[in-house]
Amino acid sequence: MRWDTVLFDMDGTLTDSQEGIVKSVSYALERLGRELPPRDTLTAFIGPPLHESFSAICGMDEAETERAVCEFRDYFARRGWAENVPYEGMAEFLAALHAAGLRLIVATSKPDSFARKILEHFALERYFDLICGSHPEDRASADKASVVRTALTRADVTGHAVMVGDRCHDIYGAHANGLEAIGVLYGYGGREELENAGADYLAADLHELKQLLLQE
């Protein structure tokens, strides 16, 4: 088997979090008196760390970014986390990987508490050896390379691991830690973004992803 451990991004990879994230961003922008950008712009928030997105996409300074992130998390904690759904067939997919003996780990820039709450809500946490997210009080912990590094350390990964994600940040984070990366095309990055980031493999759907991971 090529890999014995699989690290998964969460938003756009395990779950379709578009509704909750878009509504949380919209709430934050409205609270700050900002005009709402087109929906395509709002979906760009899915995946990258929030501080990075509010700064790069909305041109916010440090103080405004901090306030926007707080407002985002206020809405997300109340409602946004539940405005989320696993991709169709995800439970069966994860069960098959688990049954095949693969170690499964979540490595997400989303705060650890939110990631765990969402996965428990959908009864997906049972398939993972570790759920590793960021810590709101430590902005650097949301950087994907940092998340992957922390996950590998906490899980004491010594074998061959691979990262699965839908955005360029997942690819960069994997490569920064010496891992190969699989880009999934059903998420929010798209083929061009993933290829430009240097994804080692691409999977159009869960069927293709399962074939890659299990060498079927």
Q: % helix / strand / coil in the chain, to the nearest 5?
A: 50, 20, 30
- Tell me the CA distances in angstroms from 14 to 11, 70, 119, 178, one per residue in order: 6, 25, 9, 23
Query: Which residue type occupies 112?
Result: D
- The DSSP symbol for 4 reads S
Contact 111, 132 (CB under 8 A): no
In three-state secondary structure terms, 124 is coil
Nearest-angstrom CA–CA distance, 89 and 171: 24
Selection from 78, 74, 53 nearest residue 64 by Cα = 53
Residues annotated as catalytic are 9
Quickly list DSSP for 60-123: --HHHHHHHHHHHHHHHHHTGGGS-EEPTTHHHHHHHHHHTT-EEEEEEEEEHHHHHHHHHHTT
Q: Give the number of other CB atoms < 10 A from CB of residue 112.
A: 18
